[in-house]
Structure 1
Amino acid sequence: MTNINKSLYLIAITAITFFMLNELSSLWFGIEKEKEAIYQKDKTVLDNLMKAQLENVKILSDLLSSNEFVIKGYEENDPEIIRRYISPIWNKVRHEKLTYEIHFFKPPAISFVNFSNFNTIGNDVSDVRADIQWVTTSFKPSTHLLMCKSYAGLRATEPIFDKYGNILGGLSLGKKIDWIPNVLKENSEHDSFLVYERNATNTLVQKYYNSFIEDKEIIGNYILADRTINIPAEKIEQIDFKKKIQKIELNEKTYYLNIYPIVDFNKNTMGYVCTLTTLDQFFEKFEIDLLKSFLLIFGTAFIIFYLTRRRTNTILKKISFIKQLTNKIKNKDFTRLHEIPLAKNDNSLWELQNNIITMGLELEKSYNFLKEENKEKDQKLFEQFYYDALTKLPNRNKLFEDLKFDPRSFIALLDIKDFKQINDVFGFEIGNLVLEQVTKTSLTEITGYYYNIYRIGSDRFIIKNNVLMEQEDFIEFIQKIMNSIENDTIHTDDDISVSIEMYAGICFDKESKLAKAEMALTKAKRQSKDYVVYNENDTEKTLHSQNLNTINKIKTAVENDNILVYFQGIVNKNEKIRKYEALVRLQDGDTVLSPYFFLDIAQKTKYYPSITKAVITKTFEQFEDKEFLFSINLSASDILNEETNRFIKQQLRDSHHANNAVFEILESEEIYNLQDVQNFLQEIKHLGAKIAIDDFGTGYSNFSHLLNIEPDFLKIDGSLIKNIDTDLRAQQVVKSIITFAKESDIKTIAEFVHSQDVFEVCKELGIDEFQGYLFSEPSPTI
């Protein structure tokens, strides 16, 4: 194929491409226009149907409100007159389904004669019949929709006057609206269904409510009523009723769902009429128009192709040359640009060539500049990924990279003793200063060439040897490091002196070094030793055996519904119980285990979500008929589990006491740093629940981050409360928490209140509520 032919084919393809883009644009705008047209057409049909029905009811209400026997019954205060003369009319219109209700009232809204239920005479229905009050006070008729005590329907309300124009009472005629889907389909040929807002039925008396929902389906916050097509419950849950037009997949077919709100007399939305439409006819017409347009474009392109073929050779050569230039620019080869002089020809292609050369030279300058700039950015990203921002030490990522190339090296995991208390007592700035000083004066100055040091956590460091050595020499070096740190006192500008001690876990194995060093560190802390060397025989096997035994107990308890919930009361300053905290327990034969013996292991198994669900389910059941607030503990892992997350929100939607639920979130870095956690907290607050931050003051406390969560309660950690009657430092920390909480309108709760002295100090400091064995021990009953 010659260059000329290629160019002409390219022109043809380009024309077709523009054609297709134009048609696609027309299709998109056409679809939007057609959707709106169908929506408005169905709306017109629905409006006309509703208007016609309201007119029918209005005509009847006009006749009855002016009936001489009706007026006589009011004037003589004798409902039997109305009952006797209107009953034949009532029987006829009810039989012909022209109306569902004929109800006469006395001002402001006192039942006088109710043909639907004669036993209601004398009842005041002003709480649900604002329309009657309006009619009997404004003296004006009204036609509208309303959900009253017995049904949802169209209503015509008329004032009744005596011959002197004095108001005697009011008349309400009503007709149910369940007929709408079937009649709407007859007039529009579109399937439809009727959905009520669940809270709109709050006005229904219980016996009428039971009758109302007999042939309907409750789905979350909605009630699915009459329909001309089967709609699965999960589809209703997916619908956004605030959006008037949306797509929906039903029976393997795509529909457009049109939503028309039903607004009652009080301007509240009581439900929605929804129609299902398709664009089949639109697409059929579009395909025909598309074919016509394509044939026209194809014929035109062919003519242009034929007429311009002889004139394209030179153009194509120039285009080919320009293409070569652009490819060189694309490949960052700018050498050729310096060899080509700018042309003086006014031809547009020559001008294009000149522009491309000029642009390429400018791009060369920009590219060289960005190349240098990116080197600096790459270096910064490398440092951020592999190095700790505070101490400038290599981080966990760098450790794992280095271990790949040096699997025979030894590691020691060092942990600062009671670093949390340093943060709690002196603040984060002093805590950061301690980390910097330990790194600078004690670790990096000693390690030198033969060792690497890494910071892998808030107060955790790893030391790794870079050269082969004996295990005894490595242990001796770690002892030297720890002695150097413990002999060094850190001084701040505020004359604060801080002494540091450390634990160490050492691992000589080639596999899973960090996990094994962690086990050794845990053992060192538990046994209060300076360091422990990992030993598979006395550590891992024993630990694994204990863990497997605990996991079997958890599995049995979950399968046999032996996850128990105990409740501990929380009191106010008058020692009156205001709420309860739900506490998980596990039934193991005749023994009830506390969380200490199984919860940490459970969180690492597949059974943990089942435990969380059991606690939530049993707690909601316990308090479903009680007015106490109740709190349930959640961890960040509970929130991040999608199934547990959905389960919690569904429980809140289904509960009648969602506003009594309090979720205690364990204070951790995750609740402040993970957007998914904060989004969940906002969602459950929107559903009515309250938020408490548990164990506040345990080391992650960050007042500025706390404001983003907007909790309702702060539960001050028991470690700060248990000795607060004698520990002045604890009092200072608690005072600062209380001051912040009061300024932020957050209630405070003291945990671990075990004596009267502790209780009195907490009250004096201004804590709002109290929990502990002084008032209430955990119990399976309330």
Structure 2
Amino acid sequence: MKTYNTRYSDYDALDKYIRENEIDKNGNILIQIFSDISNKKLLSEVIKSLKEILPQAKIIGATSSAGILDGKTVGESLILSITVFEKTKVKSIIIKEDISDYSKGLLLGKKLISPKVKAIISFISSKIDGEEFLDGINSVNSEVVVAGGVAGRAKFKDKEYVFTEEGIESKAVVAISLEGEELWVNNFSNFNWIPIGKEYVVTEAEGKIIKSIDNIPATDFYKKYIGITNKNKVSRIGARFPLMVKKKNIYLSRTVVRFTEDQGIILTSKINTGEKIRLGYGDMSEIIKGSDTLYESINNTPVESLFIYSSTSRRFFLKKTADVEISPLCSSSSTSGFYMKGEFNNINNANMLFTDTMTILTLSENKDKRIKIHSAINQRALISSCTEKTILYNLIKTTGEELTEINLRLEEKVLEKTKELKSQYFTDSLTGLQNRNKLTKDLCNNKYSKLALIDINYFKGINDFYGNNVGDSVLAELGRIIKIYSDEVSLQCFRLNSDVFAVALEREKFNLDFLEKIEILHKIIDEQCFYYREFKIFLSSTIGVAINEERLLEKAEMALNYAKRNKKSIQIYNENSDLSKDIEENLTWIKKIKDAINEDRIAPFFQPIVNNHSGNVEKYEALIRMIDEDGRAIAPYYFLDKAIKSNLYSQLTKIMLEKTFNAFKNSDYEFSINLLLEDIDNEETRNLIFQKLKEAKNPNKVVFEIVESEGIEKFDEVSKFIDKVKEMGAKVAIDDFGTGYSNFSYLMKLNVDYIKIDGSIIKDVRKDRAAEVVAKTIVTFAKELGIRTIAEFVSEEEIYNKVKSIDIDFSQGYYFSEPKAKL
């Protein structure tokens, strides 16, 4: 390959130059036009001439503030850089569609990048956001080197253009790709401004304007540290003291152009709110020394052609020294380029937008080819500098580097800790599986199309029998088994809470066998044997499945709850199934309960309790009722369980406490109120109970009924509550005694006043010998402890007579009265 550089004067001279150098005899030709002449008519004439003389050539170009030719800055020139390739294909593109700048980069990347493409040269108009454009390219392939930059102009009144052989545009992207297996591409850059001081945060920005830094006006910030109060001087020192923006752990320069009237700062490039910045400092002699190092690196690189895409603001800052910087390239006839508003460069496999840098692209089709650059720049040509200035620069540079290193180490630690915390937040500590937080996050991102929830049946019994350590060991092993199976069949697995796991199928993975795989997993779990010492532990599971549903987790939980209620192994959510009808019914009841609460239609109904020895009514039990819109009383059988599951139950208890205490405030009757474990666990409910007892005239007339099974489940909590209310004067009854797993030993430890014998025993006591024996046993046991007994569900005279014959103290039931709204 070879590059020919010339200035355009007219058609004939161009034609002669091309013929003399036999350029027209080659097939793969790239022509770059570097022009500081913004004359669209002239540019069109040049492109037309080139197309006529070299129709096979691909053309790319842009306007700029000045050109570079053979190691010198040139003005008022139109430079043609013609590169002839032997083994490299050239492809050009122009993008002028009205799409986002990111999409422009994405489109360019998709059209130009292929496995053999080594580099892209691209020029964009300054109306396009270079960072977003490059992000679009990086999303396709960030390793392909993108060189070039942002078009500029020599005079303020001039227009900016970018162009290819297809046309000239003022707002577009132009690019060429270089494709070849034997093309060696390298990119270099010299910046050498240094960050100083600590990091600050841009707290408000819009486009190229910073409005505030660390929540103070941007101009006040700049004046504070630079000491400039005259805004007219800013343009002269803005390049020496730029703001350094941190991107991908690299500090990039953003020159301060001027102040705005509303205390903002205008920069050469866009900046975003939240970005981190530091003040920068540039010293001419040190910047030029950086170029020395750069040229030494190029000498060790395959080079047949070299292109410079340098910065306009760098040129203005260096002034005449800009020519000194590029002077070592004067011996190379294969060198050309220009000064741009922004430069593209690939750093650490990421294409980025720079300003204030000199970037160089080198190309060669021969890995052994070199060009010799005499890199020892004549220091006498530099601006004179004293020893003190050099010492100051080195001091700033060294301390700045140390501060940067400290910041990097701190950031690494923060990132490491953030990663650790994020892992903990999304990971179950016992099993190492993903947890509910991770599943919820993934579902918010619409990641899964199928979800199964796996509930381990009766796992609480394993914890109670073997202890929590054994239970944890079983769960950890079960998690390992589920993970192994899930990995084998491409499913994601989670542990949602103590004994509930989940598996999910990612949306992009098409799998018709999801249900089959869930059935296999169900079988694996149910057949798995876990060992503890010489004991074998077997598990069983219930699974709820939701497929292609909105609110996937919610629907899977509904299916799981339905399966558990109906003792089914696996239940799939279906809009048309009984499950859906149950859900619809639940939602209807929840609305009814909420409406009843809001419209004050929750009320106590009172059922008398008769002394079996005197036959007189001595007590009442307050029973909850919901009054419907037609005035009919609805029994708790229909709504209480739904209120508990929808977190409305505590409101019902509070209403019952308020209305029942109020109903009996002037009564001598003893009255009882039912409590569940949810009430004793609820701090607000407990406090309301204690408050009502303090306010009551006769707290000794108050009885709290606790269901037997509720008391056994959390014995310590219930025992403390009983001691507290009895200390305040109230009495306590155990309700529904004789059902479930009746336990006389725990009853001995509770300081209760009444035992209410369950209605299932009482209704059969006159005709069932077993029921009679159970009732007598409870009565005998209670009398030994000094506890009085109450028979529930006494519905007829024969039952009443039988109850009295076995010496039960009180009776309650429809034989005496149904519950009524008034005493």
TM-score by length of structure 1 reads: 0.37
Between Structure 1 and Structure 2, the one with more strand by share is: 2
Rg: which structure is higher? Answer: 2
Higher relative contact order (CA 8 A, sep 6+): 2
